[in-house]
């Protein structure tokens, strides 16, 4: 599956395996990515909330690309993290940040870098949901309370109107609870672009709930780091 196919809303659920270079040295990331490829993941996503040296990210991307045939993409928090070796780069526009840099400034800088490098850019709306997390601290965001799903409709429509290519609903890395289905439903019925859901998805029940609510792409990272497998995670969900 190529990058374009992953981000095309087709009715079939897709999966991205997320690797945080701060927690996964290049050799380990490559070895686990190979296993994820065999188990049916659709692509590899590399990125994290912590401060990372661009050289570590570059080595991780290159190491993984040597070992898998899947698209290897980045999700960045700063233009300095971009490497020309990625197949595409997801550039988040943090819609609930109170810092203009994360709303538009960083994205603008990243888009210029990617154009110069000739690397495909996928600008996405990024919304943090639930409790404060490392991601919300770093991006200076106020997470949307889990009791306010209607807020997502306004943000989703705004993101689509801005010309962004997808909407990422983030429950927070390592979160104990996934994004509530009501939030996914609001986003899916309000827009036509792909809905990405990540954070707190650790079992088949969570995957099925997200898929039923309208998620197009599911991202898992913590479960891969902890269990090293996605076997059984997508039973009945992927087609």
The answer to whether the CB of 207 falls within 8 A of the CB of 237 is yes
Residue 49 is labelled as binding a ligand: yes
Determine whether the annotation assigns residue 20 to a binding site: yes
**d(C-alpha 18, C-alpha 194), whole Å:** 18
Pull the structure tokens for residue 116.
């110069």
Query: In 156-187, which positions are buried (b, 16+ CB within 10 angstroms) versus exposed (e)?
Result: beebbeeebbbbbbbbbbebebbbbbebbbbb
State both tokens at 199.
């954070």
Whole-number Å distance between alpha carbons of 211 and 195: 10
* Contact criterion met (CB below 8 Å) for 68 and 44: yes
Q: Is 172 annotated as a binding residue?
A: yes
- Name 60's Cβ contacts closer than 8 Å, sequence gap at least 6: 19, 21, 24, 25, 26, 29, 46
Q: Is residue 130 part of an annotated ligand binding site?
A: no
> Is 9 buried (19+), middle (13-18) or exposed (0-12) by CB count in 10 A?
middle
* Burial bucket for residue 25 (CB in 10 Å: 0-12, 13-18, 19+): middle
200 annotated as ligand-binding: yes
**Is 163 assigned a ligand-binding role in the annotation?**
no
Asked if residue 171 belongs to a known ligand binding site, the reply is: yes
Asked whether residue 10 is marked as a ligand-binding residue, the answer is no
80 assigned ligand-binding residue: no
> Is 105 flagged in the annotation as binding?
no
End-to-end CA distance of the chain: 13
Specify binding-site residues: 20, 49, 168-174, 199-200, 221-222
Specify binding-site residues for Mg(2+): 20, 49
Specify binding-site residues for sn-glycerol 1-phosphate: 168-174, 199-200, 221-222
């Amino acid at each position: 599956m190529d990058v374009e196919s992953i981000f095309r809303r087709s009715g079939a659920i897709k999966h991205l395996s997320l690797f945080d270079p701060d927690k996964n040295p290049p050799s380990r990331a490559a070895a686990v990515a190979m296993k994820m490829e065999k188990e049916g993941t659709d692509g590899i996503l590399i990125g994290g909330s912590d401060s990372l040296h661009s050289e570590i990210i570059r080595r991780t991307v290159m190491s993984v690309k040597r070992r898998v045939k899947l698209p290897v993409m980045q999700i960045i928090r700063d233009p300095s993290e971009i490497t020309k070796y990625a197949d595409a780069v997801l550039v988040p526009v943090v819609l609930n940040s109170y810092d203009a840099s994360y709303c538009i400034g960083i994205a603008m800088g990243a888009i210029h870098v990617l154009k110069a490098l000739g690397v495909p850019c996928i600008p996405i709306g990024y919304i943090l949901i639930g409790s404060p997390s490392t991601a919300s601290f770093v991006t200076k965001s106020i997470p949307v309370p889990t009791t306010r799903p209607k807020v997502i409709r306004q943000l989703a429509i705004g993101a689509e109107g801005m010309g962004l290519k997808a909407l990422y609903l983030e429950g927070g890395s390592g979160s104990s609870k996934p994004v509530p289905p009501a939030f996914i439903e609001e986003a899916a019925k309000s827009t036509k672009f792909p809905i990405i859901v990540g954070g707190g998805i650790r079992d088949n029940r969570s995957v099925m709930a997200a898929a039923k609510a309208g998620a197009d792409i599911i991202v898992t990272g913590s479960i891969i780091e902890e269990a090293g497998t996605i076997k059984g995670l997508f039973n009945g969900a992927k087609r």
